[in-house]
Amino acid sequence: MTCKFYLIKRKNILAENGHSWIFSNEIDGYDGEYTNGDIVESYTYDGKFLGKGYINDQSQIAIRLLTRDIDEEINRDFFKKKLNNAWEYRKKVIDTSSCRFVFGEADFLPGLIIDKFEDYYVIQSLALGIDKYKDIIVDLLVSDYGAKGIYERSDARVREKEGLALTKGFLTEPFNTMVQIIENGVKYYVDIADGQKTGFFLDQKENRKSIHKIVKDAEVLDCFTHTGSFALNAGIAGAKSVLGIDISEHAVEFCRKNAELNGLSHRVKFECHNAFDILREWSDEGKTYDVVILDPPAFTKSRDTIKSAKRGYKEINLRGIKLVKENGYLVTCSCSHFMNPELFKETISAAAKDAGRLLRQVEFRTQAPDHPILWTSDESYYLKFYIFQVI
């Protein structure tokens, strides 16, 4: 018999409003027996059925709901339907040659990330309950979606909060994990085994395309370039010259390979620098660019470090703004969920004021639609992207 969990009587319990998470401090008690990873039923304090999902009492997120239908079984057919729903949605909203196939809670499969790179797939399991169904998911990707190879990148540190070991490796027969993709007409090598996260940041796909209209014949500086994606988009779109910088020499070498792959090595250059140091140095020297792009990593991954993150975002935007020629353009992003839109806006505004410049907003965007924002799951909204003209 399925174990039943009952929530305490309290306002603002997220799961009662559509969120898939039930926190350990929201549980009043349970009836029955369970083993972590089992499917359990959850009820409000007064016995109203909320949903079924998997349990892990080692995590602060004790239950992650998979269905609100008490009669729905969590089996192969369930995952087949969920994957089909995710795929049909993406076929409507984005180029699916390479895309995020499953975005966890926003696709009603909490704890599961699947990225598609042409015919190769990367799975990231962030919760114990998903680990138990990994074989089914792999089998469906091969049988229903023609996966030539599947690699696991369950090496995110958030797994430690679930009491899980970090793991990575092949889930099918081994294959060459340096794959090639094309996005917005740009070719990339993607290192799915050792690149950051699943190997490539697909969430900026449409934002990268949006800079094409402002970079033609421009001198462009791309900071925190990582795989060189914004720099290469600028090159493809006709920039006069592009310089991409990153603190990692390994990343810089990888960018140069991507530039060569696209025949852009003569116009798109990459150098290894600490962006905070070099932007200050260049602004002091009076160096300027037509377009400056700032796409830093998340400066905060918790509420506890928001203040220091705000200082970091202000500093990098201050330096970036100072490097933009009069009537040139600033492209600036934050990929931290905890740096909420209003706080990010305030921080950019303060940086512009200190730089003595005016900002005219051209465009505001979020993450690509293959990373959908579910309004009952605030965590699914994390990327903020602005294009400004700097007056």
Q: Are residue 135 and residue 236 in the same domain, yes or no?
A: no
Q: Are residues 368 and 230 in the same domain?
A: yes
CATH of the domain at 313: 3.40.50.150
H helices of 56-155, where?
A: 76-93, 128-131, 134-145
Contact indicator for 390, 221 with CB cutoff of 8 Å: no
Q: State the residue for tokens 């909420």.
A: 340
Judge if 304 and 327 occupy the same domain.
yes
Q: What is the pLDDT of residue 130?
A: 94
Tokens of 369: 């639609």
pLDDT digits (tens, 9 = 90+) for 39-97: 999 999 999 999 999 999 999 999 999 999 999 999 999 999 999 999 999 999 999 99
Q: What single letter denotes the amino acid at residue 86? A: A
Q: Are 5 and 22 in contact (CB under 8 A)?
A: yes
Q: Is residue 335 annotated as a catalytic residue, yes or no?
A: yes
Other CB atoms within a 10 A radius of the CB of residue 167 amount to: 12
> Do residues 217 and 293 both lie within one domain?
yes
Domain tally for the chain?
A: 3
Q: Which of 67, 95, 120 is the last residue of a domain?
A: 67
CATH of the domain at 122: 3.30.750.80
* 180, part of any domain: no
For 289, list phi and psi in degrees, rounded to 5: -135, 155
Q: Tell me, yes or no, whether 54 and 83 share the same domain.
A: no
The residue segments making up the domain with residue 16 are 4-67
Q: What is the 3-state secondary structure (H, E, C) of 333-349?
A: EECCCCCCHHHHHHHHH
Task: Tell whether 241 and 347 lie within a shared domain.
Answer: yes
Q: Quick check: is 220 in a domain?
A: yes
Q: Which residues of 56-89 are buried (b: 16+ CB within 10 A; e: fewer)?
A: beebebbbbbbbeeeeeebeeebbbebbeebbee
**Digit-coded pLDDT (tens) for 370-380:** 999 999 999 99
Say what the pLDDT of residue 338 is: 87
Q: Return phi, psi of residue 32, to 5°.
A: 110, -170
Do residues 344 and 222 both lie within one domain?
Answer: yes
For residue 195, give every residue at least 6 positions away whose Cβ sits within 8 Å of its Cβ, in sequence order, or none: 227
Greatest extent of the chain over all pairs of C-alpha atoms, in Å: 72
Which position among 223, 255, 333, 335 bears the catalytic label? 335
d(CA 180, CA 42): 44
Residue 341 located in a structural domain: yes
pLDDT of 301 reads 67
Q: Which helix (H) or strand (E) holds 368?
A: none
Task: Report the predicted TM-score, pTM, of the whole model to 2 decimal places.
Answer: 0.94
230 within domain boundaries: yes
**105-134 burial: b if 16+ Cβ within 10 Å, else e:** bbbbbbbbbbbbbeebbbbbbbbbbbbbbb
pLDDT band at 245 (very low <50, low <70, confident <90, very high): very high
Same domain, 11 and 32: yes
Crossing angle for the helix pair 229-236 and 249-261, to the nearest 10 degrees: 30
Q: Does residue 237 lie within any of the structural domains?
A: yes
Where is the domain boundary, 126, 157, 175? 175
Final residue belonging to a domain, choices 159, 175, 191: 175
Lay out the sheet containing 149-154: strands in order across: 98-103, 112-117, 120-125, 149-154, 167-170
> CB–CB of 49/41 below 8 Å?
yes
Encoded tokens for 187: 């070719």
pLDDT tens readout for residues 142-198: 999 999 999 999 999 999 989 999 999 999 999 999 999 999 999 999 999 998 889
Do 124 and 261 reside in the same domain of the chain? no
In a domain, residue 312? The reply is yes
How does DSSP assign 39-55, residue by residue? EEEEE-TTS-EEEEEEE
Q: Are both 257 and 377 inside the same structural domain?
A: yes
Residues 213, 362 within the same domain: yes
DSSP state of 148: S
Q: Is 174 left (phi over 0), alpha (psi -120 to 50) or beta?
A: beta
Segment 201-221, tens digit of pLDDT: 999 999 999 999 999 999 999
Q: Are residues 81 and 60 in the same domain?
A: no
In a domain, 192, yes or no: no
The CATH number given to whatever domain includes residue 22 is 2.30.130.10
Q: Is residue 182 part of a domain?
A: no
